[in-house]
Structure 1
Amino acid sequence: MIGYVCVGSNDIPRAKRFYAAVLPALGYSVKEGPEGLSYALPVPEGQRPLLPDFYVKPPFDGQTASVGNGTMVAFEAKSQAQVRSLHTAALAAGGTDEGSPGFRADYGPHFYVSYLRDPDGNKIAIYSSDPKEPARGELQWKNGSL
């Protein structure tokens, strides 16, 4: 089990704007301190966390934060619509597009995902894999039309 995930940032206020556009909608609350941002999901009293916390912090060694090639953090959304809305919100909050919301041929038929870079260049995925939603290749009707 993953205990926590941490990404580096060179500008905490800028990072906070980006993650505030995404993580509260997924149920995360934030605590801000001199060491950076700490995001966590609620945990009922007496229970252990099931999903890892997410931290955004300046590097401990005082050097410039940089991204790892091939490193990515993925957050699960409630629906395909939420993937789309959070992708749009993240772009408006200073993120950059690394892959528009949609299905990917290399993954399962219900894996709907978008890819972004936060303002520091960290790669973030937002995905939904709800089998009750339309799958890749299925026609999606809205208001009587495609």
Structure 2
Amino acid sequence: MLSYIRVGANDTALSGRFYTAILTPLGYRKEEVPEGIEFTFPDRPGRSPGPAAVYVAKPYDGKEATVGNGSMTAFQAETQEMVRSLHAAGLQAGGSDEGAPGFRAEYSDRFYVGYLRDPLGNKVAIFSVNPAEGTRGR
């Protein structure tokens, strides 16, 4: 089981605004900690643990944070509208567009996704596979 994700940031306040804009609507709690910012998902009775915690912080080695080529973090939203809303919120909070929300021919008919880059350039996907919503081509 995935336990946590650590995202490097050179400007934790700027990166923190971006992750706050896309994670708090998904139910994550934000807490400023000495190392940076921690986003955790509250425990809910009758629900399995998770999703993973997300930490936004400067690298431990003291060097500049850099982008991992080929790395991407994906977050699941409940609806296609939420994907669109979080994509827009991420752009307003300092992120950049890496692919507007929509269906992609290379994925399943229900996989609705939008892509962003955080302020440092890390790639982030926000997706929905809600069976109650429309599919590609319908």
Same structural fold, with TM-score higher than 0.5 when normalized by the shorter chain: yes
Which amino acid in 1 is paired with 2:93? A
Equivalent residue, structure 1, for 2:60: 60
Q: Does 1:98 align with 2:98?
A: yes
Q: Secondary structure at the match of 1:107?
A: coil
Q: Counterparts of 2:54 and 2:107 in 1: how far apart (Å)?
A: 25
For structure 1, which runs of at least 5 residues remain unmatched after alignment?
139-146
- Alignment partners' CA distance in 2, 1:44 and 1:90: 26
Distance 1:4 1:65 in 2: 18
1:7 deviation in Å? 0.8
**Match of residue 113 from structure 1:** 113
Percent identity among equivalent residues? 53
Over alpha carbons, which structure has the higher Rg? 1
**Structural mapping, 1:120-135, within 5 Å:** 120-135=120-135
Q: How many residues align?
A: 138
Following superposition of structure 1 onto structure 2, how do residues 1-146 of structure 1 map, counting pairs within 5 Å? Answer: 1-44=1-44, 49-138=49-138
Counterpart AA for 1:105? A
Determine the C-alpha separation between the residues in 1 that align with 2:135 and 2:29. 31
In structure 2, list runs of 5 or more residues that go unmatched: none
SS where residue 86 of structure 1 aligns? helix
For 2:51, give the aligned amino acid.
L
Bigger shift: 39-48 or 77-86?
Answer: 39-48
Aligned Cα root-mean-square deviation (Å): 1.4
Cα distance, 1:61 vs structure 2: 0.1
Query: Structure 1: which 4+ aligned runs deviate by more than 2 Å?
Result: 44-50
TM-score, structure 1 as length reference: 0.90
Deviation at 1:30, TM superposition (A): 0.8
When normalised by structure 2's length, the TM-score is 0.95
